[in-house]
Amino acid sequence: MEACFANAANSAITSPANVFAYLIQTLLTAQYNLSDGIYPPDRSEEVATSNGEFDFVIVGGGSAGSVLANRLTEIENWKVLLIEAGENPSILSEVPTAFHSQLHSSEDYSYDVEPEKFACHGNKNKLCKWSKGKALGGSSTLNAMLYVYGSDKDYNEWSQMGNKGWSYDEVLPYFKKSQSCGHGHSDEWRSKYCGNGGPLSIRYYNYSETKIHETVLQAAREMGVPILDTINGDKFVGYGIAQGTLDKGHRVSASKAYLSPIKYRNNLYVMKSTRADAILLDNTRAVGVRMTLKDGRSIDVKASKEVILSAGSIASPQLLMLSGIGPKKHLREIGIPTIVNLPVGKNLQDHVTWYGLHLTFKNQTATPPSPTFMLDAAYDYLIHNRGPLASGSFDLMGFINVHDPSAKYPDIQFINGHIPQWHISIATNLFDAHNVDTEIVQKITEILTQADMLNFFTILLKPKSVGEIRLRSRNPTDPVRIYANYFSEQEDLDTMLKSLDFLKKMLNTETFKRHEFRLHHIDIPDCRHIKSDSDEYWRCNLRHMSSTIFHPVGTTKMGPQDDPTAVVDPHLKVHGVQRLRVIDASIMPTITGGNTNAPTIMIAEKGADLIKEDWAKTSCEREMSLNT
C-alpha cells in the first residue's frame, strides 16, 4: 500500500494537478482496487526475447485499438499483439470531473499546433495545443466522456462518396454492438438506437445541475427549439442532456470496457511504454513493425496476416509517412524514399470551439464554498459515487442550425458549462487546460467574484476549412507539424459568428430575463481598442478565444480506388499496400456532427468484422482450392 501511495504522489507531482486533484488521487489510491490489476499485464519483455510472430500487430491501444484487440482475440487461434506508448490509465482518470487535471500531464501528448492566422491568439504564445491520451484507452481516458453519434446525414454522406457499407443504417448496428445502455428511455428507442449486451456502459451522469439545466431548457422552449429526449435518436436539432461512457459515477474508458474483461486471454499480448517507429515492408506488403522499448532497445516484430494502425489522426499518418507511404513531394523534402504515393496527412478536420461567450447571472442562493468543500465532495464520491466529482459539467448541449432554424441538421453545437460564483479554481483549471493566456484567465475568473457564470462553448460542427499533418523530420521522436487552418474558409467564420445571434435571442427570453442573465464582454488586451458589442469586437473575441475541442479526424481518408484524395478503401485497407489497414478516426472522410469518440469505437467494431470477413473468405478460398 505504501508503494501505491508513492505512485499516486509521483503522478500528481508530474501532472498540472492542483491540491484538489492530488487530494482526490490520494483518496482514490486508498481504494486501490480501482485500477491495480484490472488491465492486461505488460508482456514487453516476453515479446522482446521470444522473436515470435503474430497474426496481427495493432499499433495504438486507444479507443480503436482496445476494441480491435478484444474482437480479434475472440478468434482463439489468432495471436494478437497490441503496442501502446503509454501505461495503464491513472487512478485520477476514474473521476469524471477531474479530466481537465489530466490535460498536459504525463498521460497527454499535448501537441503544439503551428501558428494560426485566424484562431488561438488568446492562448499562451498564441498557439493551440492538442491533447491526446497516452495510456491504454488513449483519449477515452482523458476526454469529457460525452457519447454522441452525430446524424444519419454524416454517415450517408460517407456512403455517397463511394464508401459502400458505411451508410447510417449499416453503421448503427456497430454503435449498438458496443453498448450496454442504462435505463430512462422508451423500449422503442432502446430497441432502435441503443444496445444492451456490449462492453461499453452508456449512462447519465450521477450528478447534474438540474436547476441551471432546466433554466436553459425552458429558455429553449420559449424560442421554439425542440427539447430532445435523447441526444442519439432520429431528431438532430434541439437541446438535451447527453449521456457518457460512465458506470456508477466512474469513467469507463475503452481500455476498461474492452481490455479489462480479457486481460488474461492467452492470445493477447500487450506491450506498454513501447513506441512504434516504422512499418516493416517487403516491397509493398506490410510484414511487421519496428519499435522502441522503454529501455531504448529497438526490436522488430512480424505479422503473418496484417499490421493495423490505430494510433489516431496524428500518429497514424506520421507512422505511414515515416515508412515511405505518403505524399511523394513531402517525403522527398524530408529525405524519405517513397514506397507508395498517397495523400497521407491531408484532409485534416477538427471541431474548433469558441470559448469567449460567457453569460452571468445573480444566483440568489449562492454561497461561498465551505472550507471542507473538497473533503465533502471526495467523501460523497468515494462512498456514494455521486456529488460534484461525478458531475456531468458539460452534459447539457444544444444542436442548432444558425442559418435555418427549421433545418433538420445542425451546424453549431453548444456545450453549456456552469461555474458557480466564488468557485474560481474550477474556471482556472478549465481554461488553463485549454492553454488560455494567464491574463485572460484572470479576467474570466474576476467575473466569478460577482456572479455565477454560464459558458456557451460554441462548436463548428461541419467545418469547410481543412488542415494537414506533416512530418518535422525522419526521427520518430520528433512531433509532427500540425496545420489546423481554422477559419481559412470564410463560411466557417460567418457561421461561428452567427451563433451569437442565437445566444442574444435566448437572452431576450422571459426565462433569462427573470434570472437577469447578461452577456459578458471579456476584457481581451488586444481587443481593448474596439467598441464593445460591435461586430469588430466579436470578430476579435473569436480570433483570440477560439481553440480546439480535441476532435481531429480525416488524415487517412477512406474512399474508393478511383478517389485520388483517399488513403484507405472501404475495408480500411491502405491503397497500394497489402496487409496494412488503418482503423481509427483518421479514416473519416468528413467529420461527424458531434463528439467523435463514439464514432471511433463504432469504426473499430466494424473494422474488426471486416477483418474477420476478409480472412474467413481467404480461408474458404484456400480450402476450396485444395479440394479441386
Known catalytic residues are 551
Beta-carbon contacts of 365 under 8 Å, excluding residues fewer than 6 positions away, are none
Are 196 and 180 within 8 A, CB to CB? yes
For residue 42, how far is the Cα from the chain centroid? 25
**How far, in Å, CA of 599 to CA of 229, rounded?**
21
**How far, in Å, CA of 366 to CA of 243, rounded?**
27
**How far, in Å, CA of 571 to CA of 608, rounded?**
10
Beta-carbon contacts of 160 under 8 Å, excluding residues fewer than 6 positions away, are none
Q: Which residues pair with 246 in a beta bridge?
A: 251
**How far, in Å, CA of 132 to CA of 137, rounded?**
11
Measured CA to CA in angstroms, residue 559 lies from 69, 325, 351, 442, 567 at distances of 25, 16, 22, 47, 7
Beta-carbon contacts of 244 under 8 Å, excluding residues fewer than 6 positions away, are 96, 144, 145, 146, 147, 202, 203, 204, 205, 392, 395
Q: Looking up cell 513506441, which residue turns up?
A: 275
Q: Are strands 358-361 and 53-59 parallel, antiparallel or unpaired?
A: unpaired
Strands (DSSP E) contained in 242-356 are: 244-247, 250-251, 268-271, 275-282, 285-292, 298-309, 325-326, 340-341, 352-354
